[in-house]
Amino acid sequence: MNEFGKYRILLIEDEKDIRKMLSELLQSEGFDYVFTADSCAKALKTAYEQPIALFVLDIMLPDGDGFSLYEDIRHFSAAPVIFLTAKGRPEDKIKGLGLGADDYIVKPFLTGELVLRIKAVLRRTYGKATTDTKIMLADRYVDLEKAAVIKNDKEISLTAKEFLLIKKLYENKNKIVTNDALCMAAWGDGYYGYENTLPVHIRHLREKTELKPSSPVHIITVKGLGYRLVVKDEQDNI
């Protein structure tokens, strides 16, 4: 059975030839549901109508930019995003990864590498789930099945990166998880160069999970090593 056939991929690219080439490439690699869009408006329309599992997103689009579109997508979807763009300046890459993107690939690119990165992100994001699905915190909890923080019956969606990080921390709750281990969980073997964005994702995660993000009691920094997750039922033992 093809492990990738069930995933819906949305390619957002304004260049017709690239869009067609990528769509045919992914279909030949076993992706049965490949959707395309050539603008922000069409991308949002498709994303609202389909349960997209992964977005491949260009930055320069005719009716807006990919960075803004990424933020719009995050209002209703926690699916992973890969930026695929001609904007190769370091500051653009840092901005994209800092927003929470799962990967940033600069044109021109190797088609084989793109396919491998897409498959790697899907495996990391939708791999074997943690047995426990709820992480109890002081005044809220994280629902791993929904990839959301629940507070007063209201849902705060987690990005794909935030989900992978909190999942890794919970798998090792009350223990130190090194920066390398967290980067590996979120970005895989090719995480080198992404380390500087880890604190950004942790900060965003704290804003959603902590009563006072500037004075965290759940996601604790272990200086020089990494982070430790303290959950509600274990705080009295710390």
What is the three-state SS of 196-220? Answer: HHHHHHHHHHHHHHCCCCCCCCCEE
For the chain of 238 residues, list the mean pLDDT of each consecutive stretch of 10: 82 93 93 94 91 91 92 85 86 85 87 90 72 81 88 88 90 89 78 77 94 94 93 53
Q: What is the pLDDT of residue 194?
A: 67
Domains in the chain: ranges and CATH: 8-126 (3.40.50.2300), 134-237 (1.10.10.10)
Q: What is the pLDDT of residue 238?
A: 41
Full-prediction pTM beyond 0.75? no
